[in-house]
Amino acid sequence: MAAHDFEILDDRFQRCIRTSANVDRLFTGCRWTEGPVYFPAHRSLVFSDIPNDRMLRFDEESELVSIFRRPAEYTNGNTLDRQGRLISCQHGARRVIRTEHDGSITVLADRVDGKRLNSPNDVVVKSDDSIWFTDPTYGIDSNYEGHLAPSEIGDRCVYRIDARTHRVSKVADGFKQPNGLAFSVDERRLYIVDSGVGHGHGLMRVFDVRDDGSLGRADVFARYEHGVFDGLRVDVDGRIWTSAGEAVICYEPDGTLLGRIRFPERVSNLTFGGPKRNRLYVTATSSLYSVLVAVSGAKTV
Ligand code: MG
């Protein structure tokens, strides 16, 4: 696979990619891969295989994949906090956890106002150490990606865990299924995907972030007719890279669609890795892929 995997819709995308770069399949045999997170200190990538209830680790030097955690409470999204600790969303236990440096687990959020969360999906950490996550119902809608159960909250919202008080508070609602989320480089904006709008369409909103940690005005950032958005990441120049059907697509911060990188399977999520953060790791259905690009991920990813 090479140049034909890249589709340039705006000339500015030429500077973002290397059309001579290969889309490499690094591992396959999973059921639904998700939640890629890169550990710079370990030169490794951890990702989830939700229906198989396991997390895997790709070693960048040896290119070997091994089991990181199993069972894994049907873990979905992962990220690192600013101390390099793994933060994970668990469908099975319906909670957000932190894996400490000694290997122990700390529960960061499992209830709001006494009601269990639905099934936390994706998570991001802000520079003030607050943790923001989405809570759709995918992990309780069936036994495939978690445990079938009713929603106690009866809504699908986005939450913020305060770094100092550890209080969990709702920051946004009105979603069909809130999913991937990411801050802009200056953290003045928060992009949030709604993957439940139907018709195979993608919808991403962007919210103003207020100084007090609440969200302000919301706008539609992007609509897409050729696939559902799931996860997203931001590069150093503020572009938004998101999954959309069997592709990763890239937007300018002004919402202009720049281009696509095609993959052989439906893409769920992505992250920037490698020592220069210019290796795009992509989880897509049964497999993990990577491709070198000409831009680097923002340090917040
Ligand atoms: Mg997701």
Q: Identify whether 225 is part of a domain.
A: yes
Backbone angles phi, psi at 10, to 5 degrees: -140, 135
Regarding beta strands 157-161 and 24-27, do their DSSP bridges make them parallel or antiparallel, or are they unpaired? Answer: unpaired
Q: What is the CATH number of the domain that holds 172?
A: 2.120.10.30
Does residue 51 have a cis peptide bond before it, meaning omega lies within 30 degrees of 0?
no
Residue 203, strand partner residues:
194, 223
Q: Identify whether 93 is part of a domain.
A: yes
301: pLDDT strictly greater than 80: no
Structure tokens at 113: 């106002």
What are the angstrom distances between the C-alpha of 20 and each of 12, 24, 169, 270? 17, 12, 46, 20
Measured in angstroms, how far is the CA atom of residue 261 from the centroid of ligand 1? 19
Q: Identify whether 300 is part of a domain.
A: no
Question: For residue 207, what pLDDT band results from cuts at 50, 70 and 90?
Answer: very high
Measured in angstroms, how far is the CA atom of residue 202 from the centroid of ligand 1? 13
How far is Cα 98 from Cα 37, in angstroms, rounded to an integer?
13
Q: Identify whether 297 is part of a domain.
A: no
pTM here is 0.97
Q: Identify whether 257 is part of a domain.
A: yes
Outline where DSSP puts E strands in 41-128. 44-49, 54-59, 65-69, 75-80, 86-90, 95-99, 105-109, 111-112, 115-116, 123-125
Measured in angstroms, how far is the CA atom of residue 180 from the centroid of ligand 1? 5
pLDDT in tens, 117-131: 999 999 999 999 999
Measured in angstroms, how far is the CA atom of residue 150 from the centroid of ligand 1? 20
Measured in angstroms, how far is the CA atom of residue 92 from the centroid of ligand 1? 15
Backbone angles phi, psi at 212, to 5 degrees: -85, 5
Arithmetic mean of pLDDT, 111-115: 97
Measured in angstroms, how far is the CA atom of residue 230 from the centroid of ligand 1? 5
- In single-letter form, the type of residue at position 100 comes to E
Q: Identify whether 123 is part of a domain.
A: yes
115: pLDDT strictly greater than 80: yes
CB 139, CB 189: distance < 8 Å: no
Arithmetic mean of pLDDT, 225-253: 97
Measured in angstroms, how far is the CA atom of residue 138 from the centroid of ligand 1? 9
Residue 213: the pLDDT is 86
Q: Identify whether 299 is part of a domain.
A: no
> Whole domain around residue 232: which residue ranges?
3-292
Measured in angstroms, how far is the CA atom of residue 141 from the centroid of ligand 1? 15
Identify the residue with better confidence: 208 or 1.
Answer: 208
Q: Identify whether 31 is part of a domain.
A: yes
Residue 206: the pLDDT is 98
Domain count of the chain?
A: 1
Residue 2: the pLDDT is 52
Share of the chain above pLDDT 90, in %: 96
Measured in angstroms, how far is the CA atom of residue 86 from the centroid of ligand 1? 17
258: pLDDT strictly greater than 80: yes
What are all long-range contacts of 13-20, with beta carbons under 8 Å and residues at least 24 apart?
A: 13/250, 13/258, 13/259, 15/294, 15/295, 16/235, 16/239, 16/250, 16/258, 16/259, 16/293, 16/294, 16/295, 17/259, 17/261, 17/293, 17/294, 18/292, 18/293, 18/294
Backbone angles phi, psi at 41, to 5 degrees: -70, -25
How far is Cα 138 from Cα 290, in angstroms, rounded to an integer?
26
Concatenated DSSP letters of 172-187 = E---SSEEEEEE-TTS
Nearest 5°: the CA angle 164, 170, 175 is 145
Measured in angstroms, how far is the CA atom of residue 123 from the centroid of ligand 1? 9
pLDDT in tens, 76-102: 999 999 999 999 999 999 999 999 999
Residue 299: the pLDDT is 81
pLDDT in tens, 135-179: 999 999 999 999 999 999 999 999 999 999 999 999 999 999 999
